[in-house]
A and B are shown apart, each in its own frame.
Chain A
Amino acid sequence: MADLFIYVSLLLIWAMLFYHAFLMLGGYYHSLKYKNYKRRLNRLNLPEGEYPTVSILIPAHNEEMVIVETIQSMIQLDYPKHKLEVVIINDNSSDQTGSIIDKYAKAYSYIHAVHTKPPFAGRGKSGALNQGFNYSTGEIIAVYDADNTPEPSAIKNLAIGLMKDRRAGAIVGKFRVVNANKNLLTRLINIETLTFQWLAQAGRWLWFRMTTIPGTNFAIRRRVLEELGGWDEKALSEDTELSIRVYNLGYYIRFFPEAITWEQEPENIRVWWRQRTRWARGNIYVILKYLFQMHKLKNKKVIIDIFYFLFTYLLFFGGVLISHIIFIVNLVHDLELSIGVVSYALLITGFLLFVTEICLALSIEQRQLTLKNFLIVLLMYFTYSQLWVFLVVRATYLEIKRVLFRQEITWYKTQRFKQLERKRNSA
């Protein structure tokens, strides 16, 4: 019987590993290809008058520590300022965020402050975004988190990309980690985000013309957003949820790594745990929301993504969990497994696949494939990746509890950290 469990779990795990290898392959090809696309865009550079009006929405809840820098980067954006509108939504902050925003709003005409009021205040990112959206007027809506500092060309790239591609409902840029070298955790997160973007985002874009809106550094057409009725305020990961609805409308979401933003990542494990639990719960919410009404989806391609989530969160982690449990039980009590030597071959191959995939993703970025990072990747498999197993178990438990007891969602705002020194390496 234990044999059967092992076979099932290994099959699940390997289906996932191969899918990831396949995506990474696509990601790598996209890294070679997108530069041509960029050259073509540059040739078709828009005349000054044809730039669309862009509203940047920045939800901010107690962001006094980081908001100034974010606003500064907005001011430095290379985009016609009369076509630009920066809407900062002060969502029920109890710190100085509100007054900082107000100060800048007074000084710069294209910066606008929106203060949420009860009962619409403090209801999470979706709520804030919806309020900002109602206030905004731009043809294109871009979103940045309050801890983001986009590079000056970011908005221009997003806007041109969207203008030149009628079938794209939204366009997604690339984000880099500003505090990557802070400590081991941020190094790990840096590696994770780079891999995520080249593997999952670029890979899916290349093979399926699908990308998930990452919550920051993306732009979406007002028309589309209006048609969809804004963000789903019940969703914990409003970005994933929005992505699915955009696809379902018949648009695709373009991945364009030329638009770059720098964002801050959690510097301690508690903050990381909370933030990631929210993401995981959000994705499980998406699975639950769409899994049983898949037949209603107009764009069947979305099924790939829903299955992907289903696979990742329930089956893959389930498989990993089963194989972990069997491994541990087998240490204490001989289960007489018959799988034999091939299991070691699988284990080693799986590990090598993990390492080489990540190394390939790192090699695409300048100066990321260093010896130090390579050693961290080796470590990552046994530490960071295993943490995810526990995290998903907990997130699943919380989501099931929420559904069963019809609990209200609580939004855990990600805690920010003051950055003393910034090093940027743009690709």
Chain B
Amino acid sequence: MKAGITRIKIPMIVFATLFMILTNFSTVTAKEEDPNVLVIYTTEDGEINDNQRYLDLLIGHFTQNIRFVSSDEVTKRDLRSVTHIFYYGQFATELPAKFETLFDEFEGTLVAVGYNAERLGDQFAFIEPNHEVTVDQISLANEEASLDISKLYVIEIQSSEDSEILIKGRMKNEDIDYPIMVKQDSNYYYAFDTLDSQQSILFAEMLHDVFQADHEHKYTGYIRLEDVHPLVDPKPLKEIASVLKEKDIPYMVAVIPIYTNESTGKRTTFADSPELIKVLKQIQRDGGSIVLHGYTHQFRSSETGEGFEFWDVENNSPIYAPEDVELNLKDEQEFSSRAEYDKYISELQEYEKEYTITKINKGIDELAKYGLYPLAFEAPHYTMSQYGYQLVSERFSTYVGQVQLSDKDWVIMDTSPYITSPSIYHGMQLLPETMGYVQPEDPHSIQKMIDSTKRIGMVRDGMFAAFYHPYLGAEGFKKLMVEIEKLENVSWIDLKEMDVWVKGDNVSIHTENGKIIKELNQLKVVYSSLDAPVYYIGQFFKYLAWIIVVIGGAAVSSFIFFTIQSNSRNKQVEG
């Protein structure tokens, strides 16, 4: 008997072990299968700039394994286990001699962007760059649809017969086609020397070919209600929420927990607007998700919703000093060595770190106090330094909006056409906003928003994302929705249905099967100030007050009844 049991057991154990190995193996391979991307860049100052960062946004759609190295510093070692190499030559220059043989043993996919492709070795023998030309229209080689762009330089190339043109461009009035993206085997060339959302939409689509990613042709989208702070009128917000609920469209609400008055400096919290909390909580229960839109949406004395919070606009720099301290930002040239400059910046970043983390934690706490749980972050005016994104990425899994691509100027800002996890986001996912918002002073603003989807729709899995300020009223929103609902093949993002997490110092939030799971340090969150306890006492009291009214009413009616009874009894006695 004993032997029999053992015999049954052995295959069981073998099977179980095998199963475990298999499942383990599959998770490991899944990671290994993620493309491993190396971006080699040639820029005038040897640093990456907004163009490379934009490339990062595009590649981040396919993989999180992205490394950047300058053409001066790259070695063969950097190529180890890399599956895809992008070379981005932003200006025409001689490349180091090593490039002649750098890719000789490389068997993966090579993509060259911009200048210097002819210096990358045999793989790019299929093209011959000439001088620059301008184009104002681009289209996929095998499709009719074309996209008008503002006039831009491209590098004119001659491509060999056996290569395939993927994207072509033209000057509309000249009637000449130029190859823009060309492919031979697993080598690709892209002829624009700049990358931004304007012209790289087709490139973004063709990257699916580069990465052999067979993504489904289906758009995603979201609607975000913007700048909801404690002084926002809850009425239109409530109306808009009910419109969306009726249509069963999930959405986001970007919430600023503290309103600061510009002239008086008076801070208003949600405790002052119980009605708004009620509406927001209902939104959170229904299809809406809360997005933390800063803590006060201001830095220095500006009005909430107007000011920047994570960018010092006066100095056009990251927030390197308290608002009342004058900042004289030094240039790198003022330092004797690079190391000293780096040290200077890292000291400034210490303040930025403290400032940013404090604001984010306070923001999360302030919402959690009233039972609102943010599932994503959106920087006010989308402005934030690269270091800021890193700090946010440690606390939020998901970022909503557009991306500031430079630490030198907040105006340099762009958005990817699809969901992405670029390396500058350190694992955080970007849900890009792509359509803009309704501007009441512009009568064509809704049409412009819808027009932008034509461009984004050229990517198979593009993102249609717009936002709306609820204070403009529910009517305007309904008008917008009429147009938005005409968009086809779109699935609307529900943050609660995604795997998102938030890790504040005192509050942790994550989603599970469409539910918000939260853990919070009550003592530090709710009782950190008097506002919330007073609010909760007030809520409790209002509830109690209605109970009092009901009991009081019952007492009143019974007294009336007894009075009538007693009065008629007296009359009987007299009678």
Contacts and interface: CB of A to CB of B under 8 A. Distances in A.
B537 A350 contact: no
Contacts of B551: 18
A356 B567 contact: no
8 contacts: A3-B534, A7-B541, A339-B538, A343-B545, A345-B545, A346-B552, A350-B552, A356-B563
Contact of A21 (B272, B546, B555, B573): B555
Contact of B538 (A17, A28, A338): A338
Contact of A339 (B542, B553, B566): B542
Contacts of A339: 538, 541-542, 545
A363 B570 contact: yes
B559 interface: yes
Q: Which 5 A-B pairs have the closest CB atoms?
A: A356-B559, A349-B552, A363-B566, A342-B545, A352-B556
Contact of B552 (A11, A340, A353): A353
Given A349-B552, A353-B552, A359-B560, 18 more contacts: A3-B534, A3-B538, A10-B545, A11-B544, A17-B552, A18-B548, A18-B555, A24-B559, A339-B541, A342-B542, A342-B546, A345-B545, A346-B548, A353-B555, A356-B556, A360-B559, A363-B566, A366-B570
A369 interface: yes
Nearest to B566: A363
B410 to A, nearest CB: 36
A14 interface: yes
A328 interface: no
A349 B274 contact: no
B91 to A, nearest CB: 61
A345 B546 contact: yes
A359 B573 CA distance: 19
Interface string B520-542: 00000000000000100110011
Contacts of A24: 559
A340 B573 CA distance: 48
A28 to B, nearest CB: 5
Contacts of B274: 338
Nearest to B567: A363
A357 B272 contact: no
Interface in A341-390: 342-343, 345-346, 349-350, 352-353, 356-357, 359-360, 363-364, 366-367, 369
B339 interface: no
B562 interface: yes
Contacts of A350: 552
A31 interface: yes
Nearest to B537: A7
Given A338-B538, A360-B566, A346 B549 contact: yes
B574 interface: yes
A359 B559 contact: yes
Contacts of B542: 339-340, 342
Contacts of B538: 3, 7, 338-339
A336 interface: yes
Contact of B566 (A28, A342, A352): A28
B548 A14 contact: yes
B190 to A, nearest CB: 60
A420 interface: no
Given A350-B552, A369-B567, A4 B545 contact: no
Contacts of B541: 7, 10-11, 339
Contacts of B534: 1, 3-4
A359 B563 contact: yes
A28 B558 CA distance: 11
Nearest to B550: A349
Nearest to A15: B548
Contacts of A360: 559, 562-563, 566
Contacts of B573: 366
Interface string B60-83: 000000000000000000000000
Contact of B272 (A336, A340, A343): A336
Contacts of B560: 356, 359
Given A4-B537, A336-B272, A342-B542, A349 B549 contact: yes
Nearest to A344: B549
A285 B552 CA distance: 32
Interface in A1-57: 1, 3-4, 7, 10-11, 14, 17-18, 21, 24-25, 28, 31
Contacts of A369: 563, 567
Contacts of B552: 14, 17-18, 21, 346, 349-350, 352-353
A39 B122 CA distance: 125
A11 B570 CA distance: 37
A359 B563 CA distance: 7
Nearest to B544: A11
- The listed residue with most B CB atoms (<10 A of its CB), out of A10, A338, A357, is A338
B566 A31 contact: yes
B13 to A, nearest CB: 66
A360 B564 CA distance: 8
A366 to B, nearest CB: 6
Nearest to A3: B538
Contacts of B272: 336, 338
B563 A363 contact: yes
Given A3-B538, A7-B541, A18-B551, A349 B556 contact: yes
Nearest to A20: B555
A96 to B, nearest CB: 42
Interface in B90-130: none
A5 B322 CA distance: 38
B348 to A, nearest CB: 41
A24 to B, nearest CB: 7
B32 to A, nearest CB: 58
Contacts of A352: 552-553, 556
A7 B540 CA distance: 10
A384 B574 CA distance: 32
A372 B151 CA distance: 93
Contacts of B562: 28, 360, 363
B545 A346 contact: yes
Nearest to B559: A356
B322 to A, nearest CB: 30
A75 B545 CA distance: 56
A357 B559 contact: yes
Contacts of A25: 558
Nearest to B271: A338
A2 B548 CA distance: 21
A18 B573 CA distance: 31
A367 B556 CA distance: 22
Contacts of A340: 542
- The listed residue with most B CB atoms (<10 A of its CB), out of A1, A24, A342, is A342
Nearest to A365: B570
A21 B556 CA distance: 9
A368 to B, nearest CB: 9
Contacts of A17: 552
A229 B555 CA distance: 43
Contact of A353 (B544, B556, B563): B556
A349 B548 contact: yes
Contact of A366 (B544, B546, B548, B574): B574
